[in-house]
Amino acid sequence: MSDLGDALDCQSCGACCASPHDPLPGVAGQPPTASLEPFVAVDPLDYDLLGPERVRRLVVLDPLVPSGLALAVRKTARGGAACACLQGDPGHDERVACQVYEVRPHACREVRAGGTWCRESRRLLGFETG
């Protein structure tokens, strides 16, 4: 992990789970370069996510992604958008948390604090990038 990664606290950030834009830019079926949303595809292998009733409410049909399933998106207090699974608004609330952290999609697990995706997400939301 980079020095930046060591210094970052994801629970006071959440940038990679959100976007400053609404509607959100991106290429259908692919994670946009900056933010996970709104194209966090839910893969059939993410079956743990699809099980509990609480989580099922957060997954929507999305013909733009190969699996046909994606996480729902909601508006944030700042007029952007965030994953519906994210509790709190990045840049607005002191703490944020993924409600489905233990069963979050594979796409989310690939994001590393201090990595390229992290830095770009933070840059877009105006957070320090080191």
Give the interface with ligand SF4 as residue ranges (CB under 6 A): 8, 10, 13-17, 36, 40, 71, 83, 85-86, 98, 100, 104, 108, 111, 113, 118, 121-122
Give least dist CB 53 to ligand SF4, A: 17
**What is the C-alpha separation between 12 and 5, in angstroms, rounded?**
13
Using the minimum distance from each CB to ligand SF4, give the nearer residue, 28 or 106.
Answer: 106
Using the minimum distance from each CB to ligand SF4, give the nearer residue, 8 or 69.
Answer: 8
- In our burial notation (b when 16+ CB lie closer than 10 A, e otherwise), range 15-51 reads bbbbbbbbebebeeeebbebbbbbbbbbeeebeebee
